[in-house]
Amino acid sequence: MPTRLQIPGFVDLQVNGFAGVDFSSGTLTEAAFRHAGHALLARGTAAFLPTLITGPEPLLRRNLGVFCAALRHDPTLARHIPGFHLEGPFISGAAGAVGAHDPSAVRPPDLACFERLAGWAEGRLRLLTLAAELPGAAELCRHACRRGVVVACGHQLAGSADLARLAEAGAAALTHLGNGMPNRVHRHDNPLLAGLAETRLKILFIPDGHHLPRHVLELFARAAGPHRLIATSDASPAAGLPPGIYHVLGNRVVLEPDGRLHNPRRRCLVGSSATLLACMNVLHGLGLFAPEDLLRIGFYNPLALLGLAPETVPHGPYRLSLDPAAGFTLS
């Protein structure tokens, strides 16, 4: 018998776009952003951080402006968006670590640049992803923390010493652990193992069924556990669209019928086509987590990372239920 849950929906810390709208596109409009936001809210995501990936400063400025204008004009959407996530530009430009981001727009940690970005976000910057091994990363991290921005380490070649230094400097999480890293790395001192071992950092991960194979999800469940895990969709503009060929995040991508979204030329995944609800159902299907643990991974932990109380998240236009067989459903 399904349990009708009293939580308002899931909390997604990383949403790059949705329903054909690319948040990092130079042609993003306020209307498109609002369309994507409301489409996402109807699909089981009660709160999310619109996420901008690495891009040239003028583009980041432009799109942060579009975000802010949309939230000013759409108070309903604003209640569901506690802030923004900047995934870059202070990340590694190395192949593999840079992922689907534009390597030419990557830059070293720069306090002045961060200040400009935070200013353009009008105080709504909540999460910053940076690469821990970069010179100045710890200093930028301390600075961001003082400004009330949560720092996550990702798109990096960081080893255990780098992550320890960043954790010391106040970093709180790892961005999509097990993705945004090269296929070939040092056998021990690599971002994945060092990340798992640095228990001061919460683990953002993408359980969409494509970004991480089942055995890695099982490993995360056992090695990190439900108190440290935070599911994110890493939803891309192609999420919510039918299979086909699309142009997203500066990549020509193929959305396969099974939901895998990739750039065949660069051989990398380009965000996911899943909502967080779909991700939570992948986790539910693993059978590794108790219902209350799933609610932590998809709701309570991401809120706690941002320092938000559950009461601050408004209900979406649906009721969420958990059925032992069918998983999470909306009605």
Q: Does 1 bind other proteins (CB under 8 A)?
A: yes
3 forms part of the interface with other proteins (CB under 8 A): yes
Footprint of other proteins on 127-166 (CB under 8 A): none
Q: Least separation, in Å, of the C-beta of 288 and other proteins? A: 15
Q: Does 325 bind other proteins (CB under 8 A)?
A: no
SS (H, E, C) the chain: CCEECCCCCEEEEEECEECCEECCCCCCCHHHHHHHHHHHHCCCEEEEEEEEECCCHHHHHHHHHHHHHHHHHCHHHHHHCCCEEEECCCCCCCCCCCCCCCHHHCCCCCHHHHHHHHHHCCCCEEEEEECCCCCCHHHHHHHHHHCCCEEEECCCCCCHHHHHHHHHCCCCEECCCCCCCCCCCCCCCCHHHHHHHCCCCEEEECCCCCCCCHHHHHHHHHHCCCCCEEECCCECCCCCCCCEEEEECCEEEEECCCCCEEECCCCEECCECCCHHHHHHHHHHHCCCCHHHHHHHHHHHHHHHHCCCHHHCCCCCCCEEEECCCEEEEC
* Cβ nearer to other proteins, comparing 7 with 113: 7
Which residue, 2 or 259, is less far from other proteins as judged by CB?
A: 2
Q: Which stretch binds other proteins (CB under 8 A): 3-11, 109-117, 206-214, 231-239?
A: 3-11
Choice between 285 and 291, CB closer to other proteins = 291
Residue from the set 187, 311, 317, 331 that interacts with other proteins by CB under 8 A: 311
- Least Å distance, CB 165 to other proteins, is 31
* 8 A C-beta contact, residue 46 and residue 315: yes
Report d(CA 200, CA 164) in Å as an integer: 9
Instruction: State the Cα–Cα distance between residues 256 and 180, nearest whole angstrom.
Output: 20
Is 292 near other proteins (CB under 8 A)?
A: yes
**How many of the chain's residues bind other proteins (CB under 8 A)?**
15
Least gap, CB of 6 to other proteins (angstroms)? 3
Residue in 183, 187, 215, 290 binding other proteins, rule: CB under 8 A = 290
Looking at beta carbons only, is 15 or 295 nearer to other proteins?
A: 295
Which residue lies nearer to other proteins by CB, 112 or 309?
309
Cβ proximity to other proteins: between 80 and 260 the closer is 80
Site membership for other proteins, residue 280 (CB under 8 A):
no
Q: Is 5 in the site for other proteins (CB under 8 A)?
A: yes
Does 65 contact other proteins by CB under 8 A?
no
Sole binder of other proteins in the list 6, 27, 183, 331 (CB under 8 A): 6
In the bound state with other proteins, the residue whose beta carbon lies nearer, of 148 and 291, is 291
Least distance (Å) from other proteins to the CB of residue 310? 4
Residue 168: CB atoms within 10 A of its CB come to 12
Q: Is residue 2 within the footprint of other proteins (CB under 8 A)?
A: no
CA 259, chain centre distance (Å): 18
The residues, any chain, with a CB within 8 Å of residue 26's CB and separated by 6 or more, are 59, 62
295 binding other proteins? (CB under 8 A): yes
Give the residue with the Cβ less far from other proteins, 4 or 73.
Answer: 4
Applying CB under 8 A, the residues found at the interface with other proteins are 1, 3-7, 290-292, 295-296, 300, 309-311
